[in-house]
Amino acid sequence: MSKIYKLINKISIKKRSFFFIFSLYSIGFYFAKDYGITWDEFFHRNHGKENLYYIAKNFNILKYFSTSENIGDLKIGYLGYGAFFDSISAIIEKVFSLDNDKAIFIMRHRLNFTFYFLGFFSFFLLIKTVFKSYGLAVFGSLFYLFNPRLFAHGFFNVKDSVGQALAACALLPLYLTYKNKSYISSIVSGIICGIAITTRIPIVIIPLLFILTLLAQDLITHKKFILKYKTLKVILVFLLSLVISLYLFWPIIWESPLLSFKKIFFNMKSFQWNSYNYFWGEYVKGTKSPWYYLPTWILITVPIPFVLSFSIGIYTIIKNIYKTNLKNYSFQLFMLLSFLSPLILIIFFNSTLYDGWRHVFFIYPFMAYIMILGLRHVLNIIDDKFKFNKTSIMLILGLMTFIFPAKSIIQMHPHQQVYFNFLAGQDPMNNFEGDYWGSSMKKGLEWILENDNRDSIMIVCKSNMAKKNAKILDIKDSRRLNFKKMDLKEISYQGDYIITNYRGEANLYSILKKVKIVPYDNEVFSIKLNEMKILSVFKQGD
C-alpha cells in the first residue's frame, strides 16, 4: 500500500488533476445512455434541422443536405431559443448518418454532457488562474459539478444547461480581460458571450455588467471619471466580437438583426405560459409567480453545504469591499452582481416562471465562485487558528462539503433532476413538482417490457411523455408498445398499464399515499427516492 502511495505522490498534482477530470468526463459520457427523453427534446431536434435547412438555403448548398422530411423555415414563435446546440447536433446526426431515434438521442445526451463538462473544466481553469492553486481549483470546481439537480440537467437540458455551460466558459476570458486588458481574451469572451445570449436571452445582462466593471475600474483608480484609452479599445473589441458572434450564430436574425432581436427579447420577457406551478402545496399560475419563487427553488435544491459556503462567500465579498479598496475586489463584485441582477430583474418585470429555477441556471457559475470564496475563508480561519496542515484541512473540508452531494448523484442516478434538500420537506412532492421533465418514463417502460412478454402492450398516460420515451428504447422493444392518451372523464381506462410521473396530479399523489382507488389499485412498479415516489406503473385487468 505504501508503494502505491509513494507512486501516486510522485505524480505531479497537475497530472493527477487532469487524470481526475478526464475520468469524470469518461464516466459521465458512458452513463449518458441511462437518461430518458424530456419534454423539449423533439422540438429541439426539429429546430436543429430547421436551422440547418435555413443555413443551407441561404448559402445555396441545399443539395448537400437533402432530406425526405418536411422541413420548413424557422418558426417565428420560437425565436427565443438559440441555434448553436441544435445546429451542432443536427450536423452530427447528418454527418454520421444516425438513422434510429435511440442512437440520435443518446448522441444528443452525450453532446449535452460534453457542453456541461466544458463548463466545469473552464470553471476549473478560472479558479486555478484566479487563486493560483491546483488543490483549491479541484475542490472548488466540484461546487459546479456536484450539484445533483444541475448535474442531471447536464444530460438533457439543451437550453438552460447549455446556457449555464457557456456562461462558465466565458468567465476565464472575461477575467483575463479584466486583469490584463488583453485584446485576445476580449475577443474570445465576446464570442462566447454572443453564443450564450443566443441560447438564453437574459444572459445579455452579464456582458453589460462586465462593461460597467471595466469602466468602474478606471473610475475607482482615478477617483474621477477618466477613462483609459486602452480600456475603451478593449470594450470596443469586446462589443464588436459579441455582436458579430451574436449575428453569425443566430441565423434567424440574419435578415433583420435589430428588429428580430427586439422581437425575441420582448417575446421572452413576457412569455405566455398559461399553465400552473405546484409551489408550496398550491397550484400557482406561471404568469403570477410570487417574488420569492426563484429564491425558494434555489434554496431547496442546492445542497446545504453549498448554501452555507455561498452565505459565507457573500459575507466575504461585502467585508472585502467595505474594509479595503474596491478596486482590488471589483471582479468579486461583478460575480456577485451577475448572480443577483438576473433574479432582481425577473422579479421586477414579473416574468413568467415555471419548472423550478432552470431559466436562470446561467447564474450558477457565479454562485459557485462565491461558494469557493466562502470555502477559502473558512480554510484560512482554521489555518490561522489551529496551524494545521493546509492540505489536510482542505481534504477534510472537501469531504464534509461534497460527500453527500456526490452520494446523492450516485444513489439517485439517473433521476438527480428531482434532488431536494431537507428544506423542501420530508416528501418534497407534497409541496413541489417531482419529475416534471418526464425522463423517468424510460425506466417505467423498461420494467414493463422486461416483465410482460406480449407482442402488443397498451400503455395509458396522461401526457405524451411515455410515447416519447419509447423512442430511446431498442426498436424491437418499442414496437411492442402502443399508447393511448388518458381520458380524464373515464373512471376505468382501457389498456394494459397506466403510467404516471404525477405532473399536475398532486391530489392523486396525496390520495394514493393513503388509499388505493380504481384504476390505481394495482401498482406493480414505482421509482421511489427517499420519501418521494416520482413514477408509478399500474397494471389493469388480471
Q: What is the DSSP secondary-structure string of 439-484?
A: TTHHHHHHHHHHH---S-EEEEESSSHHHHHGGGS-HHHHTTEEEE
pLDDT at residue 480 tops 60: yes
Rounded to 5 degrees, φ, ψ at 285 are: -60, 135
Continuous segment of H or E residues that includes residue 525: strand 523-529
User: Which position has the higher pLDDT, 245 or 518?
Assistant: 245
Hey, is 534 helix, strand or coil? Answer: strand
Give 530's contacts (C-beta < 8 A, 6+ positions apart).
Answer: 427
Point out the least confidently predicted range of 97-101, 152-156, 271-275, 334-338: 271-275
User: 505: exposed, middle or buried (C-beta count within 10 Å: 0-12, 13-18, 19+)?
Assistant: middle
Give the integer Cα–Cα distance in Å for 27 and 306: 23
- Record the pTM: 0.93
Which residue type occupies 243?
V
For the residues 429-447, what does the mean pLDDT come to? 97
User: Which position has the higher pLDDT, 291 or 258?
Assistant: 291
**Site of grid cell 446546440:** 85
User: 154: exposed, middle or buried (C-beta count within 10 Å: 0-12, 13-18, 19+)?
Assistant: buried
- Pairing relation of β-strands 532-539 and 523-529? antiparallel
Hey, is 310 helix, strand or coil? Answer: helix
385-415 burial, b if ≥16 CB within 10 A, otherwise e? Answer: eeeeeeeebbeebbeebbebbbebbeebebb
Question: What confidence category does residue 38 fall into, taking pLDDT thresholds of 50, 70 and 90?
Answer: very high
DSSP label of 537: E
Hey, is 266 helix, strand or coil? Answer: helix
Which among 362, 415, 331 is positioned nearest to 149, based on CA atoms? 415
Quick check: 445 and 420 in contact, CB under 8 A?
no
- Grid coordinates standing for 177? 480581460
User: Which position has the higher pLDDT, 398 or 261?
Assistant: 398
Please give the pLDDT value at position 2: 54
For the residues 451-462, what does the mean pLDDT come to? 96
- Pairing relation of β-strands 497-500 and 457-461? parallel
What are the contacts of 315-319 at 24+ separation with CB within 8 A? Answer: 315/374, 315/377, 316/373, 316/374, 316/377, 317/370, 317/373
pLDDT at residue 1 tops 60: no
Question: What confidence category does residue 191 fall into, taking pLDDT thresholds of 50, 70 and 90?
Answer: very high
**Site of grid cell 435555413:** 54
- Grid coordinates standing for 204? 445579455
Hey, is 282 helix, strand or coil? Answer: strand
Quick check: 34 and 154 in contact, CB under 8 A?
no
Domain parsing of the chain, residue ranges? 2-273+287-412, 433-539
264-293 burial, b if ≥16 CB within 10 A, otherwise e? Answer: bbebbbeeeeeebbbbbeeebebbebeeeb
Give 127's contacts (C-beta < 8 A, 6+ positions apart).
Answer: 133, 136, 137, 140, 141, 369, 372
User: Which position has the higher pLDDT, 388 or 24?
Assistant: 24
pLDDT at residue 68 tops 50: no
pLDDT digits (tens, 9 = 90+) for 4-15: 445 445 556 677
pLDDT digits (tens, 9 = 90+) for 213-252: 999 887 776 666 666 888 999 999 999 999 999 999 988 8
- Grid coordinates standing for 151? 448535474
- Grid coordinates standing for 257? 438583426
- Pairing relation of β-strands 497-500 and 276-279? unpaired
Point out the least confidently predicted range of 5-14, 17-26, 331-340, 528-537: 5-14
Please give the pLDDT value at position 435: 97
Give the integer Cα–Cα distance in Å for 367 and 357: 13
Question: What confidence category does residue 428 fall into, taking pLDDT thresholds of 50, 70 and 90?
Answer: very high
Which among 150, 160, 155, 158 is positioned nearest to 417, based on CA atoms? 150
Q: What is the DSSP secondary-structure string of 201-265?
A: GGGGHHHHHHHHHHHHHHHHHHSSS---HHHHHHHHHHHHHHHHHHHHT-GGGSSSHHHHHHHHH
pLDDT digits (tens, 9 = 90+) for 109-122: 999 999 999 999 99
Other Cβ atoms closer than 10 A to 34: 15
Give the integer Cα–Cα distance in Å for 80 and 70: 23
DSSP label of 159: T
Give the integer Cα–Cα distance in Å for 504 and 433: 8
